[in-house]
Amino acid sequence: MVVKRKIEETSEPLKDTCFVFTGEMEMPREVAQQKVVMLGGRYTSLPSRRTTYLVAGNEPGPSKMAKAKELGILVLTEKQFLDFIESKSKNFEDREVVDLEYKNDDKEPIRVDSKDEDKHDKEYKDIHDKEFKDIHYREFKDLDDIRISSEEPWSEKYRPKSKEELIGNQNIFSQLVNFLKGKTDYKSVLLSGSPGVGKTTAAYLAAKECNLTCIEFNASDVRNKGELNKKIKNNLNNFNLGSNNGLERKVLIMDEIDGMTSDRGGLAELGVIIKKSRIPIICICNDRSNMKIRGVANYSLDLRFRKLDFRQVLGRVREILKRENKNVRDSVIQEVFMQGKGDMRYILNILQVLCLRHVISSEEINLVCKKTFMRNIFDLCADIFMKKKIWEKIDVYFEDYSFVPLMVHENYLKSNLHISEVVISSDSISYGDVVDRIIHGPNQEWGLSGVHAFFSSVLPSNKPLNKKIDFSNYLGQNSKKMKNERNLLTCFLHGYKSYSPTKVSYRMYDSMVFCKKYLRNIYLEKYEDCVKIIEEMGILKEDIENIIEICYLGGLKDVPAKGKSTVTRLYKKLKRVLPYFVEDTKKVKGEIDSNEEEEKVIYEE
């Protein structure tokens, strides 16, 4: 027997109202926002002409308050907001009927009385405790309350089958089709954008429209240099004999290439494959700002997918819910959309989980919608400098505890800080460095991570930024420091018989002496004396150039090209016996011929 449940017209008492929250509230802001959404309202981060109410807690933002006064927006205190919500919730049931119709095996309508309500409340509490993680495995007293669905995920079931079903980015899709038809000079295309915007789907639909056979490698495949050579080499030809005795064209799809950074030599080999390939290659990534992606982007058509707009998503979601015979309020769809940041795959999966129940409550929506997003380091840095509670900033720190302190150290002076606040923040970063040394010391005191989070990230990020976020210079400077130390040690070991026995005295005295002498001879055009210095000290020409770069920031940039080339020619004519192995590593731009033998000279004594 089919039972139909009516949806009350008054199920959205806050319809067409918009709230903005500012300041510190006793109630968590997420809970207040959820109350608004479940009553049919919506909330935004900034006040506008469409804003109905501004809810101000302790220490409200002055800019928001000024904007509200300018636009004539009604300002509510937290107590007034709670009273307002309570007045609107008197005749409101904080549960929403999801099923429009369903089958009852007992052929009797389901009657909901007070006992059933108590039973439902107990089951809701159990679900809250387990946060919906084991929803498919728990035993319920009333099996009609939750149906275990064996259907495929909605994100796969309703995956677009044609160009018309794609949501947004139609112009990008047209450019992708033109690329596959050979209307551009590129051999590959790079599709980038947030998760769930349709990059992979667009790639398959474009290949289908151009009658191309797809060969895909994604993050589940091993994609290092050796595996790429082995698997892709045989597929680089443009045509294959198809099943209908015709010619079958192919396209190579490399999905999630930003995950190839852990595959040794994978991205570098992909760049070589792109240059040699005779078939089109589609590369897909989420993080376009990744430094290692730039090597592929330089040889590819760069197409960036934009995030989906709620108005675009709403129509598609309504259509899917109608096909599934489900009812979910637009305000709930908007909340899921905002939690998912426009990720269509996430939106459909969450709605499918919510629709496993006949009736859903606001707390269940809040629990199911929780998701941790993989954010890049710039988003984390911007987030930690916002006005948040201490524990919220510590959560941001733990999303990437290696890079967040470096980004804070690079950007904390871009806040409006008084000189006394600069001192406090700088001291805090110093204390954080002390704690970091203890954490990574012999005893591995990882229990101090929370202390490190506070000193290195929370306290220095007390004020908001007012300038563009820059990437940390520490990585580049640390790499340069390690390179200089390595070059210094190499030169010291090569000529240890000619100068002081310690590396410190060598760096502070000996290196400065022979570097000045070497440069003076070049400027005086005494090139034979330059080579004589190298020969007497028993070092290489590369050694003295590296030491000059360390001792003098400019290095050999100001030295005339004629002098450098003359010294190089004389040095190559030098014949001597050295007590160490020398390998000539030449930097060659472009591809290195595999048949060309590297010049290696071994000197022994």
Domains 2-93 and 388-472 share a fold: no
What is the domain class of 2-93 according to CATH? Answer: alpha beta
* Domain assignments of the chain as residue spans, ordered by start: 2-93, 105-152+310-368, 168-304, 388-472, 497-602
Q: Is 269 exposed, middle or buried (0-12, 13-18, 19+ CB in 10 A)?
A: buried
Dist. CA 538–CA 492, nearest whole Å: 10
Enter the tokens of residue 29: 């802001």
Question: Among 122-136, 448-462, 506-520, which stretch is predicted with the lowest mean pLDDT?
Answer: 122-136
Fold (topology level) of 168-304:
Rossmann fold (3.40.50)
Q: Would you state the pLDDT for residue 588?
A: 41
Residues found in the chain: 605
Q: By C-alpha distance, which of 188, 170, 171 is closest to 179?
A: 188
Fold (topology level) of 388-472:
Zinc Finger, Delta Prime; domain 3 (1.20.272)
Dist. CA 180–CA 545, nearest whole Å: 49
- Say yes or no to pLDDT of 601 above 50: no
Per-residue pLDDT of 45-102, as tens digits, reads: 889 888 999 999 888 888 889 999 899 999 999 889 988 888 877 665 555 556 555 4
**b/e map 486-515, b = 16+ CB within 10 Å:** ebbebbbebbeeebeeebeebbeebbeebb
H or E element: which one contains 102? strand 101-103
Average pLDDT in the chain: 76
- Say yes or no to pLDDT of 304 above 50: yes
Q: Are 218 and 174 in contact (CB under 8 A)?
A: no
Q: What is the pTM (predicted TM-score) of this model?
A: 0.53
- Say yes or no to pLDDT of 44 above 60: yes
Dist. CA 277–CA 551, nearest whole Å: 46
| Residue showing tokens 């405790």 | 129
Per-residue pLDDT of 337-381, as tens digits, reads: 877 778 888 888 888 888 877 666 666 666 666 555 567 788 888
Rounded to the nearest 5°, which phi and psi values hold at 428? -65, -40
Q: By C-alpha distance, which of 70, 83, 135 is closest to 364?
A: 135
Quickly list DSSP for 560-591.
-HHHHHHHHHHHHT-----SSEEE-----SSP
Per-residue pLDDT of 157-175, as tens digits, reads: 888 988 888 888 889 999 9
Q: By C-alpha distance, which of 120, 163, 117, 123 is closest to 139?
A: 123
How many CA atoms does the CB half-sphere of 252 hold within 13 Å? 24
Per-residue pLDDT of 263-284, as tens digits, reads: 566 677 778 788 878 888 899 9
**b/e map 325-350, b = 16+ CB within 10 Å:** ebbbbbbbbbbbbbbbbbbbbbbbbb
